[in-house]
Amino acid sequence: MSERAVLHVKGRILVGPDEVRDELWVVDGRISYDRPAGARDIRTVDGWVLPGLVDAHCHVGLDRHGAVPGEVAEKQALTDRDAGALLLRDAGSPSDTRWIDERDDLPKIIRAGRHIARTRRYIRGYAWEIEPDDLVAYVAREARRGDGWVKLVGDWIDRDLGDLSACWPRGAVEAAIAEAHRLGARVTAHCFAEDSLRDLVEAGIDCVEHATGLTDDTIPLFAERGVAIVPTLVNIATFPELADGGESRFPRWSAHMRRLHARRYDTVRSAHDAGIPVFVGTDAGGTLPHGLAADEVVELTRAGIPPVEALAAGTWAARAWLGRPGLEEGAPADLVVYASDPRADVRVLTDPRRVVLNGRVVG
């Protein structure tokens, strides 16, 4: 083997929650646990090592008004990268961000296409706004455009009702989810309230975003069907402010949002305790800034999820759920190095020492 530049990462390599190695090597952008023969130009990085963090609910290319220019999307992706989030599930965006795939210095993105919402039942400029008769066709379109996911808006405020309500009839979501699955895509849905959840789960949905409306009636159903949730607690923290802003026009909605916020930690803890898969997501890119994956892990621990399981929700388990590798032999070298053991204190995640993406030290 010819002389090559390699990266030597040593210390405590957290391959899994209970699997720890002393070192790894990065050659040609990929992980090896064997010292490469012929290596002379070696750069060494040391510390506590995790696979790159996962933000399983963010929106690159989107802000509060809709699609953003490419340079803004680039800054969003760089912010996530520098915070250690190297795998993103983009849960709906009107922007075409395929150009990011050509950049080996930006996080890897799994796209869900563009949101699909009921007419006048979502944030203006974000979604395809359609009626139920068109749902199957639009789901098929986004399943072909995305990276194995489709995003529905499952509930939103009904202005006539003055409160959150389900957006789709049961038959429409059954047909749409079946079509997505036929095309090889999984389906997730934005859901704040209670009344859309049973229909979506019984229709075969794969994941629910936010899931603040989970109750003792629906938690067992989620657990039985293996439907994952991405709670986005850093976003749910904004509910009181949203409620204050809508108080005068929609007092019923405002009161509902405050109740959902007040019980958020109990909801997530009960879901976890029932065996529902819980994953890290921030909802960055709408009104929230990017780079909050570590903060979401901390929030999960505040909800009562044990630290190592909260850590897994944003690393090992999340990567397995999304079908992407961690620190396995031959995997792309996407990893983050910390000064101390994040299993002992997840707040360490907010201060990465080094970020390595595709084998290059980028931060």
Q: What is the CATH number of the domain that holds 65?
A: 3.20.20.140
- Based on the fold, state whether residues 177 and 31 are members of the same structural domain: no
- Based on the fold, state whether residues 207 and 283 are members of the same structural domain: yes
* Best CA proximity match to 315, nearest among 348, 267, 275: 348
Whether 192 maps to a domain, the answer reads yes
- Based on the fold, state whether residues 44 and 64 are members of the same structural domain: no
- Based on the fold, state whether residues 22 and 157 are members of the same structural domain: no
First to last CA, the chain: 29
Instruction: Mark the ranges of the chain whose per-residue pLDDT is less than 50.
Output: 1-3
CA dist 270 and 212 (Å) reads 11
- Based on the fold, state whether residues 278 and 343 are members of the same structural domain: no
Q: Count up the domains in the chain and report the number.
A: 2
- Based on the fold, state whether residues 192 and 333 are members of the same structural domain: no
Q: Measured over all CA atoms, what is the biggest interatomic distance in the chain, rounded to whole angstroms? A: 72
How confident is the model at residue 2, as a pLDDT? 39
- In the numeric block, which tokens belong to residue 199? 């229909």
Q: What is the CATH number of the domain that holds 21?
A: 2.30.40.10
Beta carbons of 90 and 111 less than 8 angstroms apart: yes
Whether 1 maps to a domain, the answer reads no
β partners of residue 63: 66
- Based on the fold, state whether residues 180 and 108 are members of the same structural domain: yes
What residues make up the domain containing 12? Answer: 6-50+325-362
- Based on the fold, state whether residues 104 and 233 are members of the same structural domain: yes
Beta carbons of 136 and 174 less than 8 angstroms apart: no
- Based on the fold, state whether residues 39 and 81 are members of the same structural domain: no
CA dist 211 and 118 (Å) reads 19
Using one digit for the tens of pLDDT, what is the confidence trace for 42-62? 899 999 999 999 999 999 999
The per-residue DSSP string of 35-73 comes to PPTTEEEEEEEEEEEEEPEEEEEE-TTEETTEE--HHHH
- Based on the fold, state whether residues 27 and 121 are members of the same structural domain: no
- Based on the fold, state whether residues 138 and 38 are members of the same structural domain: no
Radius of gyration of the chain (CA): 21
CA dist 264 and 260 (Å) reads 6
10 Å CB burial of residue 274 (0-12, 13-18, 19+) is middle
